[in-house]
Amino acid sequence: MQKGNILVVDDNKAILSALQLLLPEYFLEMKTLSNPNTIISTIKSAQFDVVLLDMNFSAGVNSGNEGLFWLSEIKKHSPLSEVVLFTAYADIDLAVNGIKRGAFDFVVKPWENAKLVSTLLAAYELSKSKKEIKQLREIKNEFKTDSEMYRGSSPQMQQIFSLVERIAKTDANVLITGENGTGKDVLANEIHKNSLRNSESMVAVDIAALTDSLFESELFGHVKGSFTDAKVDRAGKFEVASGGTLFLNEIGNIPMHLQAKLLTAIQNKSISRVGGNDVIPVDIRLISATNKDLDEMVKNEEFREDLLYRINTLHIALPPLRQRRDEIIPLAELFLRKYASKYSKNIFGISLEAQEKLNNYSWYGNIRELQHSVEKAVILSDGEELSASDFILVEKSDINQANKFNLPLSLEDMEKDLIAKALVDYSGNLSIIAQQLGITRQTLYNKLKKYQL
């Protein structure tokens, strides 16, 4: 089976011709150079897994210093490429010196085909491993977060955090349920940060955003050529999260025909990349979240009962914000400090009238809606404290009531109603609302002020 690509650098054209017959059977791509002066431009234009490098190029020069020089240059410009030195019997001491400088190994001329091939393939495997480790580290860095969860003072939240402290140090799978916007992802991160795996990343996957065709590739990875867009080998989220925590958000959105694949990976603690045959062990702590009733979905044969048992070793139900109203103002003040700093606003508090307005609102979008509402208020406010008029809050019941009357509307009334409905549908997220309405954020701000929404 052909693997990776190789660059061969040797000034002996007979050797290059012999290797052009031998190596294509083992490598997907092969390039040869008879002049080492083009090595750097060549490795800059294409990444090579392995470089087979001669030690001497100038006529009458057998010191091997040329090979050592080009070895250093290759490692400087392409550190993940593995270099195998091609040397004559007299150069063995130099080749050993080359290994000390970063070469993978050396092969003596004249060579044995089997020895040469096995050495080059071993170099390829090491290069591949280094690239995968680099990829995993880069991906893991994307998931690092410093987000803190507000613990609150309500009995419900105190009970939840007492449970978190007990379960965090274990590797038990956790299922978090609750309405949209209640902070399921932040609670998952809190569990991870307090776990024994906190030196590694928590890798989050939004299941609702995955199409069926991407599900396996995203979770389990793929090998090069396994489908049209698979240009390179790629690790999936299970591999990336190995040693840490895998967070599957909106797990209730997985179609039935894909649930079995997830169950197998969880049970076996191993995966196989799409298009690959190798079984790769993975060591993860699984946290799942959903806003759906999975027990009801099991009854309706929409969710596998055995999968529910696997993900639901421990269950945490997050209450909606309207059931812990004593946390509304502290959370609003926390968001105020965050966004006042972000937008360089000198806003130091929330007026009593505004606090009353916040306390009386239903918050069906929960903490996320509160956060967006405070952000908008900070942007729109011209004072040193947020007033009631700075908060744009539209109850669902108000819109439903308005829609009962089939009265003719002016264009302005229709625009106001459309914006008000969008505020509810998208939990006050101005960026998404502006995008959905096809207007800029500034235009949206102006219309919010105009219609006093």
Q: What is the pLDDT of residues 42-75, one digit of tens each?
A: 998 888 999 999 988 865 555 667 888 999 999 9
| pLDDT(359) > 70 | yes
Decide if pLDDT at 260 tops 60: yes
* Same domain, yes or no: 346 and 381: yes
Least confident of 82-86, 210-214, 367-371: 210-214
Residue in 194, 308, 281 with CA at minimum distance from that of residue 245: 194
Domain boundary (317, 338, 357) is at 317
Identify whether residues 125 and 169 lie together within a single domain.
Answer: no
Q: Which of 112-126, 319-333, 353-367, 426-440 is predicted least confidently?
A: 426-440
Answer with the residue of higher pLDDT: 403 or 394: 394
Is residue 149 assigned to a domain? no
pLDDT of 394 > 60? The answer is yes
Q: How far apart are CA 305 and CA 298, in angstroms?
A: 6
Instruction: Indicate the DSSP class of residue 290.
Output: E
Domain range spanning residue 67? Answer: 5-136
What is the distance between the alpha carbons of residues 132 and 338, in angstroms, rounded to a whole number? Answer: 37
pLDDT at residue 100, as a whole number = 85
Residues 267 and 308 sit within 8 Å (Cβ to Cβ) = no
Place of tokens 């009386």: 360
Task: Read off the pLDDT of residues 103-159 as tens digits, 9 standing for 90 and up.
Answer: 999 898 889 999 999 999 999 988 887 777 676 666 655 555 555 666 666 778 888
* ω into 255 cis (within 30 of 0): no
Co-location of 37 and 131 in the same domain = yes
Domain assignment present for residue 17? The answer is yes
Domains of the chain: total: 3
Residue 431: give its domain's CATH number. 1.10.8.60
In a domain? residue 106:
yes
pLDDT at position 421, please? 74
Beta carbons of 71 and 101 less than 8 angstroms apart = yes
Asked whether residue 141 is assigned to any structural domain, the reply reads no
178-213 confidence digits (pLDDT tens) = 998 888 998 999 999 999 998 888 888 888 888 888
Task: Please say whether the beta carbons of 215 and 258 come within 8 A.
Answer: yes
Quick one: which of 304, 318, 321 has its CA closest to 370? 321
Instruction: Let me know if residue 150 belongs to a domain.
Output: no
Burial of 67 (0-12, 13-18, 19+ CB in 10 A): buried
Q: Do 184 and 223 have their domain in common?
A: yes
Mean of per-residue pLDDT scores for the chain: 84
Of 86, 109, 136, the one marking the end of a domain is 136
Together in a domain, 304 and 174:
yes
Q: Is residue 232 part of a domain?
A: yes
Domain boundary residue, one of 136, 168, 199: 136
Higher pLDDT pick, 142 / 241:
241
145 domain residue, yes or no: no
Check which CATH number belongs to the domain holding 39 and give it. 3.40.50.2300
3-state secondary structure of 149: coil
In angstroms, what CA-CA distances link 83 with 3, 106, 124?
16, 9, 10
Query: Are residues 309 and 332 both part of a single domain?
Result: no
Q: Are 327 and 313 members of one domain?
A: no
CATH label of the domain that carries residue 212: 3.40.50.300
Distance CA 312, CA 289 (A): 10
What does the alpha-carbon distance between residue 345 and residue 385 come to, in Å, rounded to a whole number?
Answer: 10
In this structure, the answer to whether residues 384 and 292 fall within a common structural domain is no
Are 300 and 161 found together in one domain? yes
Q: The pTM is what?
A: 0.61
Q: What was the pLDDT predicted at 51?
A: 94
Residue 365 lies in a domain: yes
- Tell me what the mean pLDDT of segment 87-115 comes to: 83
- Give mean pLDDT, residues 325-338: 91
The pLDDT value recorded for residue 118 is 92
One domain, residues 226 and 282: yes
Is the distance from CB of 39 to CB of 70 less than 8 angstroms? Answer: yes
Q: Which of 429, 155, 177, 173 is nearest to 314 (CA)?
A: 173
Q: Which residues pair with 8 in a beta bridge?
A: 32, 52
**What average pLDDT does range 317-345 have in this prediction?**
90
Query: For residue 198, what pLDDT is reported?
Result: 87
The verdict on 371 and 339 lying in the same domain is yes
Same domain, 296 and 428: no
Mean pLDDT of 91-102: 80
